[in-house]
Structure 1
Amino acid sequence: MIPPAGAAPEARLLLIGRGLRAFVDGYVAVLLPAYLLALGFGTGEVGLLSTATLLGSALATLAVGAWGHRFHHRSLLLGAALLMTATGLAFASLSAFWPLLVVAFVGTLNPSAGDVSVFLPLEHARLAEAAQGHVRTALFARYSLTGALAAAFGALAAAVPDGLATLGVDRLAALRAMFVLYGAAGFVVWLLYARLPRPSSSQVHRSPPAPLGPSRGLVIKLAALFSVDAFAGGLIVHSLLALWLFERFELSLSAAGAFFFWAGLCTALSQLAAPWVARRIGLLNTMVFTHIPASLALIGAAFAPRLEIALGLLLLRAALSQMDVPTRSAYVMAVVTPPERAAAASYTAVPRSLASALSPSLGGALFAAGWLAAPLVVCGMLKILYDLALLKAFRRVKPAH
């Protein structure tokens, strides 16, 4: 992925690193439960290990926000890349539950569709320093697009172990090899980030990383609002949306796969349009006024009488609902002071991760109770309330950095 004109040269390294991480995350999210089942674990243990990865990543990200200011971003990124390498190799070589649980907690595995790793706030802080103004928004859009596309291709790579098994390769050995590849990707990321420029003495004295200070109030408000948005989104994650399509319209598995491919493509391309929209109506307005129509489309889909109408509304939602991702990141980086950026990215990312982990069980329970429309409607309404609250709270806050 080529960074936008006007971005610093290090932006290319960050985009390549994001793409590599997203690719291996894309297949690990699919292969992790299959690998654990192949090792002889039950579904309960698979769930516990998945929870451990999310909780560990959230705590590590929170630690970056609290104490990461004591170290430069480059050093922390290099450490995270080495941890990624160790995580892949450990998962490929261990078979007992408790050692794997420890590795899941302290490592970098990501069982979700989005990026919840410790890399996220550190890369955001570097990206914010690599560009200014509208170029920064465009850079964050390309960062998000790179991650979305690479993760999609990574998900396709999850079929490799079964393909190798048809050629006579032991399936468990093939699964282990994919985790070795994950570790190798971590080492490649380390090589990339070793090329990031070291901080000069003038940079260190001018704006060294710092804990939250002047921007603390803004960040707390943003984190609280982002948590509402993430909780709402968790009610209708992809697996639950697929379940709704199966139950509501008896959609086939192949048709559902085709729909999610096109929905993912709409989402990825919309993030390229986000900087263009933001230049014309502003970062905050882009976040709000693309989100509300997407939420209305989701609510409309809940009551659509025919499959074609529902899919059309859901594709419209996919084309609009994620335009706030790069603009949200750029907005957070713009309203806090430069030394606080890594801390702000951490403190806004962790509550989102924790909130989104709570709501899928509620959405599944509503489906199980026969209330098929409820998760879609509640998700849409909560997101609209979030957008209105965000606009009211920050309409007079002008990005200054």
Structure 2
Amino acid sequence: MSDTRDPASVVRRLLVAKALRGFADGFVSLLLPVYLLQLGFSSLQVGLVATGTLLGSGVLTLVVGLQSWRFHLRTWLLASAALMAATGIGFTVVTQFWPLLLIAVVGTLNPSAGDVSVFLPLEQALLSQVVENRRRTAQMARYSLVGTLSGAVGSLAAALPTLAASRAGISGTAALQGMFALYALLAVAAGAVYRGLPAAPVATASGPKGGLQTARKRVYLLAALFSLDAFGGGFVVQSLVALWLYQRFDLAVATAGAIFFWTGVLTAVSYLVAARIADRFGLLNTMVFTHLPSSVCLLLIPFMDTLGPVLVLLFIRSALSQMDVPTRSSYVMAIVPPAERAAAASVTSVPRSLAAAASPMLAGYLLGVSPFGWAFIAGGVAKIAYDLLLLGTFRKVRPPEEATARPPA
């Protein structure tokens, strides 16, 4: 048996758990709107459920992040896995709108292609404690790579309910409910992986307890900027992009799954490229100058009349838009003291769900009144504004390893 206090063993366990959760998120993000529409819900109600998942995740992530110093990170991860299992069971057995909305708010469902759950800051904080600073960005890229590739495979699994309904003779609703039961089982498996983590971090951070202390102002400013990016991203979460494709081009679920599989592969490859670019040009420059062109792609998508150009733009965006994920995580971990990293990861991750909570509802409304794709326009504008503000505000704030490696830009 491997030594769970060995940093390499901790990293492996975090990657395995990330893969299990990514696979689950991959098929749930595509099947969630299909399931809700099958139950007779409107586009607006689908948007409300997506909003509920993001809102609840944001509040939970904030609370856990700020209180993470009170308990071992393993304890928080095990509790989160139990909540994930309960969420899957809830969506398996409940079919009424208001109870489902409540489960969405308090649970862990993820309507997005990225990880916007309570797990993220906990895993990032633990990962940053067990790897050396010079390898932090590469490990964050590897962490994101595993999650995105497993999410891409999960997108392909979204075709399973259709196959089950046609070959096993069960109803479409029952087949979809079976996938939410699978979601719960994957949560149990992730919990088993977390149990093998050390009770305390391998490298316990020294410093003041109680969350953010010295880095509070810097972290809050980053959180405000990330909230703008998250608000824009909420207009184009994967569930609602899939819904737009279903409505605009009458796309089959299996076809959508294949499309999002390849967008996931492109995103995964981009993480590795991002780590290399960041080594040469810096974390902040990589975050901004890869993100800007991807936002322009969002602005162009609604003006495409056929599926082909839309797919080209989606693929280009997928190859660029998430390069800021490992670099952003590494940047936040680099510019705050080790003792405050869990709280910083939480506070800067919360906007990805909390500030994005309103936009899926607005996007659902826009989809209900017009097939044009106004949600893409709104998302693109918000994200471009974020890029420019981030560059202008933090261009002089450099991680210690960058400041010593090259002169300021």
TM-score (norm 1): 0.83
1:362–1:353: structure 2 CA closer, same or farther, 3 Å change rule?
Answer: same
Q: Which residue of 2 aligns with 1:148?
A: 148
Question: SS in structure 2 opposite 1:115?
Answer: coil
Confirm or deny: 8 A CA contact 2:46 2:364 kept in the other structure.
Answer: no
Q: Could you tell me which residue of structure 1 aligns to residue 41 of structure 2? A: 42
Verify the 8 A CA contact 2:65 2:122 in the aligned structure 1: no
2:340 corresponds to 1:340 = yes
| Residues 112 and 238, structure 2, Cα contact 8 Å, conserved in 1 | no
Residue 111 (1) aligns with residue 111 (2): yes
Per-residue deviation, 1:379:
4.0
Structure 1 unpaired stretches of 5+: 1-5
Give unpaired runs (5+ residues) of structure 2.
Answer: 1-5, 402-409
Match of 2:200 in 1: 199
> Who is 1:182 aligned against?
183
- Equivalent position SS for 1:117: coil
Q: 1:366 to 1:88 in 2, by over 3 A?
A: closer
Q: Aligned pair in 2 of structure 1 residues 265, 305: CA closer, same or farther (>3 Å)?
A: same
Deviations 1:255-310 (Å, cap 9, x if unpaired)? 87765544333222111111111111111111112122333454566667998766
The worse-fitting range, judged by mean Cα deviation, of 269-278 and 153-162 is 153-162
What amino acid is the match of 1:117? S
Q: Is 1:265 equivalent to 2:255 in the alignment?
A: no
What amino acid maps onto 1:20 in structure 2? L
Distance in 2, Cα, partners of 1:306 & 1:157: 26
Other-structure match for 1:391: 391
Residue 86 of structure 1: aligned partner: 86
Matches within 5 A, 1:51-90: 51-90=51-90
Q: Separation in 1 of the partners of 2:231 and 2:388?
A: 16
Show the counterpart of 1:29: 29
Question: Which AA in structure 2 matches 1:31?
Answer: L
Distance 1:361 1:241 in 2: 13
d(CA) in 1 for partners of 2:96, 2:372: 39
Cα offset for 1:168? 2.4
Partner of 2:324: 324
For residues 42 and 285 of structure 1, the distance between their equivalents in structure 2, rounded to whole angstroms, comes to: 43
Asked if 1 retains the 8 angstrom alpha-carbon contact of 2:18 and 2:146, the reply is yes
CA distance in 1, matches of 2:119, 2:203: 22
Cα 1:262/1:244, change in 2 over 3 Å: same
- The amino acid that maps onto 1:339 is A
Matched residues in 2 for 1:360 and 1:48: separation?
A: 7
Q: Which residue of structure 2 lines up, in the alignment, with residue 3 of structure 1?
A: none
Give the Cα–Cα distance (whole angstroms) in 2 for the partners of residues 338 and 264 of structure 1. Answer: 31
User: Higher relative contact order at CA 8 Å, sep ≥6: structure 1 or structure 2?
Assistant: 2
Label 1:81 to 1:295 Cα distance change in 2 as closer, same or farther (>3 A). closer
Task: Give identity over the alignment, percent.
Answer: 52
Residues matched between the structures, number: 392
Structure 1 distance, partners of 2:192, 2:239, is: 35
CA drift at 1:360: 4.2
- Following superposition, the deviation at residue 337 of structure 1 comes to 1.3
Query: Are 1:210 and 1:339, in contact at CA under 8 Å, matched by a contact in 2?
Result: no
What's the offset of the Cα at 1:78? 1.2
The residue identity in structure 2 corresponding to 1:212 is L
* Aligned equivalents of 1:304, 1:30: Cα separation in 2: 22
- Aligned-partner Cα distance in 2 for 1:190–1:59: 22
Q: 1:157 and 1:369 mapped to 2: Cα distance?
A: 31
Report the CA distance between 1:380 and its aligned residue.
3.9
> Is the CA contact (8 Å cut-off) linking 2:62 and 2:347 kept in structure 1?
yes
Cα deviation digits, residues 6-59 of structure 1 (max 9, x gap): 963211111110110111122223333444566x56336655544433222111
- Give, as a single letter, the amino acid of the residue that structure 1 aligns with 2:81: A
RMSD: 3.5
Map 1:197-236 onto structure 2 (within 5 A). 197-199=198-200, 204=204, 206-207=206-207, 210-236=210-236
In the TM superposition, 1:108-147 aligns within 5 A as 108-147=108-147
Matches within 5 A, 1:297-316: 297-299=297-299, 312-316=312-316
Greater Cα offset, 148-157 or 357-366: 357-366
Give secondary structure in 1 for the equivalent of 2:214.
Answer: coil
Q: Normalising by structure 2, what TM-score?
A: 0.82
